[in-house]
Amino acid sequence: MAPLFHLLLPALLALAAVSSRRGWRWSPSAASGVIAALAAAAAGAALWSSAQGASVVFSHPWVAPLGVDFALRLDPFRSLFLGLVWGTTVPVILYSGLAFRDDPRLAGLLATLLLFAACMIGLILADDLVLFFLFWEGTSVLSFLLIGWNHAGAEARRKASQALLVTGLGGLALLAGLVLLRFATGAGSLGAAFGTDLSAHPLSTAIIVLIAAGAFAKSAQVPFHFWLPNAMAGPTPVSAFLHSATMVKAGVFLLALAAPALGAHPLWTPLLVTCGMLTVAAAVRRAWNETDLKAVLAATTLAALGHLTILAGIGTPAALKAFVVFLLAHALYKAPMFLSSGALEKAYGSRDLRRLRGAVFCLPIVGTAMVVSMASLLGLFPLPGFVGKEYFLKAAWAQSPALAIAAALSLAAVIALALRGLAPLLARGDLNLPAKSPGTALQLLPWISAAAALALTASFPWLSQSVLTPAAAAVGGTTGASVELWPGWGPSLVLSLAALLIGGVVAFHAARPAARPPASVGDTTYQTLLDALGRGSRQLASALQDRPLATHLGLVLGAAGLLIAPPLLAGPLPLPDLRVDAADTVPAVLALLTALSAAGAATARSRVALLVSLGLTGLLIALLYAYFSAPDLALTQLLTETILLVLMVAVLRWLPKPHGTPRRGSPLAAAGALSAGAVVTMLVIKAKALEFTPPVSQFFAERSLPDAHGANIVNVILVDFRALDTFGEITVLAVAAIGAAALLRKRRRPAVFDPTRSTLLSTALRLLLPPLFLFAAFLLLRGHNHPGGGFIAALVAATAAAFIHLSGRPAPSSRLDSALLVTGLSLAALSGLFAVAAGRPFLTGLWIKPDLPGDGPPLHLGTPLLFDLGVFLTVLGFALAFLRRLLPTTPSPVPSWN
Amino acid sequence: MELIIAIAIGALTAAGIYRLLAGSRLDLLAGILLLSQAANLIVFASGGLLHGAAPLLHDATGPLADPLPQALVLTAIVIGFGILAFLLILLQRDSDNRP
C-alpha cells in the first residue's frame, strides 16, 4: 500500500490547498505550512523505504481485456526519485506560501503544484506502460499551466504553449515507442519489458529512437533543448520544482530504466552520448554572456541533464551507479540555488547579475547557502557534487579514456559558466544594496535544502549504505562495491582537478563582451516551423473552405468519389443479368420512368418544372415500392412526398428570386454528377453480386407471430423487435420540432391562395377532413397485422391537418403540437417501462389475452400497441409543428376578433 | 431487373449531385431530396426484389420479401422528411432576415 499512499497524498493535499481561503484561519499560507510538514514526513518515509531495500508492488486490474493494470512499484531507485520529489516539495511549497502570501491565486498555485507532484510521483511509481504514459502526459499538461501561470503576458503564454507542444510531441513519440515495446516483449509492465535484453530484437532500433525522442523532449536534450530556458518564465517555485528538480528528470529516469535492456544496441551509446554532449555545449553557449541569474542556473541544469543522459548512454553498471550519485548531488545543490535566487529577486526586485553585485555579503544567510551549493556544483571535496563528478569520470574512463577526457572538458565548461555567471554575487567593493529585506523566513528557506545536503554528506556512509547503493543496484548498477566518499587517487581524480582548473582559468580570463546572448537556433527553428504550419493551415483552409457552398460540396463529393472509385474499379465487374422477363415489364418501365423523371428534375429550368419532376419521381418510387412487396413503404413515401410538396410550394413563394429558382450547373458539375451516378450504379451491381450470409430477417419472420402477435413483420420490427431504434428516431423528430420552434416564431403572411375565392375547393377540403381522420385511426389500429401503423397513420392525419390550413379554418394552436409531442414520447417511454417493472429489458413487448365473449379470433393486447400509439402522436405533433410554421395562415375575412 | 434498378439509382444520384452543385437554395433542397431517395432505394434493393411477397404473415403463401430493409427504409423516409422540413424552416428564416 505504500506506493498508493505516496500517490494519493499529494492529491489530498491539493484538495486541502483549494479548500483554504484568504482571511480565514485556514488561509493558503497556513495550509502551505501544514502541507510542507506532511511532505517532509513523506520524504522521510521514502528514504526509509529506500533503506528497507525491498521493492513493493501494488497492482489492481484496470482495463482487464487489454491487460492494463493499475500497477505501482516502489524499489530503492524509485524511492530515491520519490524522496527527491517530496524533498523538493517542502521548500517549494513553503517558498510559495511566503513569497505569494498576498497573492489571491496562492491557493490555486499550491493546488496545481501538488497535482503536478501527484503526476510526477505517479510517473515514478507506475509499473504499467499505459499508466506510466498517462502520468507522463499529466506532467506535461500541468507544466503548461504552471509555466503560463502569469498568463496575462503574451510571452508567458507563448513559452507555455511551446513547452506543451514540444513535450507533447515527445509524448506521442514515447507512446509509439511504448506500443512497440509492448509488441516486442508482450509485457505490460515496465519492469518486465525492460527486464530482458532487447538489443537484438528487430524492433529495437525503432524503440530506441522513439523512446529517446520522448525522453529528450522531456529532459530538454538536443535537439529539443530550447524550451527549457523559456520555461523559466514561470514563477520561481515552479522553475525550482518542475524545471530543475523533478519533471525534467523524468526523461533521464526513463533512459536509466531502459539502459539495461537497450544499452547493448549499437545505436544506444552513440546517440545518447552525442546528444548529451551537444546539450551541454548548447547550454553553455547560450548562457555564456547571460546576465539573468535564473537563466544561468537554468543553463547549468540543462548541462546536468546532458551529463545524466551521457551516463544513461554509457549504460554500464558503473555508469548507472554514477547516474544515481550525480542525480542526488545535483538535486541537493540546485534546489537551494534556485530558492536563493528567488530570495535575491525578492530583495533586489531584479535578477540581473549586474545589479546583484556582492549580494552574498549583503544578505549573508542566503549568500552562504548559495556559496555552499556553488561549491558542490564546482565539485569541491567533500560535497556531494564532488562524489557525483568523480563517479561520472570513473565510469567514462572505464568506457574509454577519450570519452572521459571529453566528459571532463564538458564539466570544465559548466564550471567556467557557473564561475563566470555567479562571480558578480561575490564581487567586493561597489556593492549594490538590496531594496528591501526579503524576510528572515524566505532567507532561511534555501538552508532547508542546503542543510539537508550537508547533513547527508556528513552521514555519507549511511547515505551510501541505505540510499545510493541500493538505488544503484535496483537500476542495474551492481558492481559489488558501495559508493565511497573518497574514491582514491586515479585518472578520474586527475581529470576532475584538471576540469576545475581549466574552468577557473577560462572563467576569469575570457572577455565579457556586452553583446546580447545569442538567439537559440532551436527556438528560432521552432518558431519558423510553427509560423509556417499556421500559415499553411490558413491557406489550406481558405483554399478549400472559403468558397461558395456548391464549390465546397463539389470538393467534398469529389474527394469521396476518389476514395470510393478505385477499389470499385479494381475488381472484375460482374456482368449483370441483362434479360428482362416479360413478367418484369411493369417494374422495368417504372424504373426507367424514374430515371427519366430524375433527369427531368436535373434539367428543369423553372421552379414549377422542378417541383413537378420531383413529385413525379417520388410517386414513381412509391409505385416501385408497392410493386416490390413493400406496401408500408409505398404509403409512407406517397404521404411524405405530398406533404413535402405542399410545404415547398408554400415556402418557395417567399424565397427571393435568385434563391428560389433552379440554376444551370457548370459543365464540370455535370461531368462530376454523371460519373458519380455511374459509380453508384456499379456499386449497386457489385453489391448485388456479393454473397450474403443468411439474413437476420429469417429470425424476424419466424418469431413475429408467436412472440409479437403481429403479421405485418415491418411494423413488428419497428414497434417491438427494434423498438429502441424507433424510440430514438421519434426523439430526434421531437428535437427537430423544438429546433424549428426556436428558429421560427409564427408570423402572419399572406396566403398562397385565398380559399374564400374558391368556394368549391374550400368546401371540398372541409368535407374531406372527417374521412381522413377516420382513415388515420383505422390505419393505426390495423397496423400490427396489415399495412399501416403509427408512422403512416400520423402522416395521413398530417395531410388532413394541411387541408385545415389550406381551407381557411383557424389553424390548430401551438399548444396542440407540443402536447402531442410530449404525450407521444411519454407513452412510448411508458410502454417500455412496463417491461422494466416486470424485470425485463426496456421496451420488451408484454402481452395479455383478455377473454372475450363470442367465438371471434383471440385478441392480443400488448405494450407494442401502446408504443405505436406513442409513435403516432409524436410524428403527428412533429408534422403539425412544421405545418403551422411553414403554411401561411389565411387573413380572416372579418379581422374583428383578435 | 437489378440492372435497370441500378441505372435508376444512378440517375437519381447524378440528378441529386447535379442539383446540389448548381447553387441556389431550391437546388440544394431538390438535391438532398433526390439523394435521399437514391439511398433509400439502395437499401431497399439490397434485400432482394420480389413481387407479390409482402411481408404479411396472414396472406403468406410463398417466400416473403425481406422485412428488415423495409423497416430501415421506412424510418429513413420519415427522417428524410424531417430533415427537409427542417431545411425549409431554415430557408424561411433566411428569407425573413433579408429585405
* Distance of residue B96 Cα from the nearest chain A Cα, in angstroms: 8
Query: Up-side HSE of residue A63: CA atoms within 13 Å toward CB?
Result: 8
| A-chain residues near B40 (CB < 8 A) | 621
**Residues 5-64, chain B, touching A (beta carbon < 8 A):** 5-30, 33-34, 37-38, 40-42, 44-47, 49-58, 64
Residue of B nearest to A688 (CA): B46
Is A425:A356 a contact under the CB 8 Å cutoff? yes
CA distance B56 to B54: 6
Mutation target for B interface from A556, A579, A597, A632: give the one with most B CBs within 10 A. A632
Query: What does the block give as the cell for A827?
Result: 407513452
Mutation target for A interface from B9, B18, B20: give the one with most A CBs within 10 A. B18
- pLDDT tens column, A278-321: 999 999 988 888 888 888 898 999 999 999 999 999 988 889 98
Is A88:A236 a contact under the CB 8 Å cutoff? no
| A-chain residues near B86 (CB < 8 A) | 736, 739-740, 882
Q: Which pLDDT score is estimated for A302?
A: 92
At A74, which helix (H) or strand (E)? strand A68-74
Query: Up-side HSE of residue A772: CA atoms within 13 Å toward CB?
Result: 19
Q: Which pLDDT score is estimated for A810?
A: 66
Residue of A nearest to B74 (CA): A633
Q: Which amino acid is at A779?
A: L
Selection from A803, A826, A830 nearest residue A873 by Cα: A826
* Distance of residue A744 Cα from the nearest chain B Cα, in angstroms: 6
* Distance of residue B40 Cα from the nearest chain A Cα, in angstroms: 10
Closest partner residue to A713 (CB to CB) among B34, B67, B89 is: B67
Look at B68 and A717 and tell me if their CB atoms are within 8 Å.
Answer: yes
Q: For strands A847-848 and A68-74, give the pairing.
A: unpaired
Longest dimension (CA), chain B: 63
User: Phi and psi (nearest 5°) for A58?
Assistant: -120, 125
Start-to-end CA distance of chain A, whole Å, equals 77
- Helix (H, G, I), strand (E, B), or coil: what is residue A19? coil
Neighbours of A575 (CB within 10 A): 9
Q: Which amino acid is at A376?
A: S
CA distance A246 to A258: 19
Selection from A737, A773, A780 nearest residue A866 by Cα: A780
| B-chain residues near A594 (CB < 8 A) | 8, 11-12
Look at A718 and B74 and tell me if their CB atoms are within 8 Å.
Answer: yes
Residue of A nearest to B87 (CA): A740
Q: Which pLDDT score is estimated for A746?
A: 54
Is A335:A244 a contact under the CB 8 Å cutoff? yes
Look at B24 and A663 and tell me if their CB atoms are within 8 Å.
Answer: yes
Look at B27 and A662 and tell me if their CB atoms are within 8 Å.
Answer: yes
Cβ-based contacts under 8 A for chains A and B? 306
User: So what's the ipTM on this one?
Assistant: 0.96
At A152, which helix (H) or strand (E)? none
| A-chain residues near B43 (CB < 8 A) | none
What lies within 8 Å, CB to CB, of A337 at 6+ separation is: A297, A370, A373, A374, A377, A446
At A63, which helix (H) or strand (E)? strand A56-63
Look at A651 and B45 and tell me if their CB atoms are within 8 Å.
Answer: no
Closest partner residue to A595 (CB to CB) among B8, B22, B67 is: B8
Neighbours of B96 (CB within 10 A): 13
Distance of CA A27 to the CA centre of its chain: 34
- Helix (H, G, I), strand (E, B), or coil: what is residue A859? coil
User: Phi and psi (nearest 5°) for A437?
Assistant: -80, 135
Look at B91 and A663 and tell me if their CB atoms are within 8 Å.
Answer: no
Q: Which pLDDT score is estimated for A756?
A: 54
Closest partner residue to A633 (CB to CB) among B38, B73, B95 is: B73
Residue of B nearest to A675 (CA): B14
Mutation target for B interface from A653, A714, A717, A735: give the one with most B CBs within 10 A. A714
Closest partner residue to A591 (CB to CB) among B4, B14, B67 is: B4
**Backbone dihedral region for residue A318 (phi beyond 0: left; psi -120 to 50: alpha; all else: beta):** alpha
Selection from A640, A632, A651 nearest residue A615 by Cα: A640
Closest partner residue to A673 (CB to CB) among B14, B56, B91 is: B14
> Can you list the pairs that A689-693 forms with residues at least 24 positions away whose Cβ atoms lie under 8 Å?
A689/A574
Q: What is the 3-state secondary structure (H, E, C) of A650-689?
A: HHHCCCCHHHHCCCCCCHHHHHHHHHHHHHHHHHHHHHHH
| B-chain residues near A875 (CB < 8 A) | 78
Closest partner residue to A718 (CB to CB) among B23, B52, B71 is: B71
* Distance of residue A665 Cα from the nearest chain B Cα, in angstroms: 4
At A694, which helix (H) or strand (E)? none
* Distance of residue A743 Cα from the nearest chain B Cα, in angstroms: 7
Q: Which pLDDT score is estimated for A809?
A: 67
Look at A680 and B42 and tell me if their CB atoms are within 8 Å.
Answer: yes
Query: What does the block give as the cell for A285?
Result: 553557449
Selection from A82, A94, A68, A77 nearest residue A9 by Cα: A82
Query: What does the block give as the cell for A485?
Result: 566518499
Closest partner residue to B1 (CB to CB) among A584, A678, A722 is: A584
Neighbours of A560 (CB within 10 A): 12
Look at B74 and A725 and tell me if their CB atoms are within 8 Å.
Answer: no
Look at B85 and A729 and tell me if their CB atoms are within 8 Å.
Answer: no
Burial A286-296 (b: 16+ CB within 10 A, else e): bbbbbbbbbbb
Mutation target for B interface from A590, A654, A655: give the one with most B CBs within 10 A. A655
Q: Quick one: angle between helices B67-97 and B25-46, nearest 10?
A: 170
pLDDT along chain A (898 residues), means of 10: 88 89 81 88 86 83 88 91 91 89 89 94 94 95 91 88 93 95 88 86 92 94 87 81 84 93 91 94 88 88 94 91 91 86 86 85 88 89 88 90 92 92 80 76 84 84 84 75 76 88 86 64 87 93 81 88 85 69 86 94 91 94 94 94 88 76 87 91 80 71 85 91 92 91 66 60 81 92 89 92 75 81 94 90 85 73 91 93 76 40
Is B19:A686 a contact under the CB 8 Å cutoff? no
Query: Up-side HSE of residue A597: CA atoms within 13 Å toward CB?
Result: 20
Q: For strands A56-63 and A847-848, give the pairing.
A: unpaired
Q: Which pLDDT score is estimated for A592?
A: 93
| A-chain residues near B99 (CB < 8 A) | none
Look at B89 and A882 and tell me if their CB atoms are within 8 Å.
Answer: yes
| A-chain residues near B29 (CB < 8 A) | 648
* Distance of residue A851 Cα from the nearest chain B Cα, in angstroms: 22
Look at A580 and B50 and tell me if their CB atoms are within 8 Å.
Answer: no
Look at B7 and A681 and tell me if their CB atoms are within 8 Å.
Answer: yes
* Distance of residue A752 Cα from the nearest chain B Cα, in angstroms: 15
Look at A630 and B44 and tell me if their CB atoms are within 8 Å.
Answer: yes
Look at B17 and A557 and tell me if their CB atoms are within 8 Å.
Answer: yes
| A-chain residues near B58 (CB < 8 A) | 711, 785-786
CA distance B34 to B14: 9
Query: What does the block give as the cell for A137?
Result: 502526459
* Distance of residue A832 Cα from the nearest chain B Cα, in angstroms: 19
Look at B68 and A700 and tell me if their CB atoms are within 8 Å.
Answer: yes
Is A867:A843 a contact under the CB 8 Å cutoff? yes
Q: Which pLDDT score is estimated for A843?
A: 86
| A-chain residues near B35 (CB < 8 A) | none
**Backbone dihedral region for residue A630 (phi beyond 0: left; psi -120 to 50: alpha; all else: beta):** beta
CA distance A860 to A862: 6
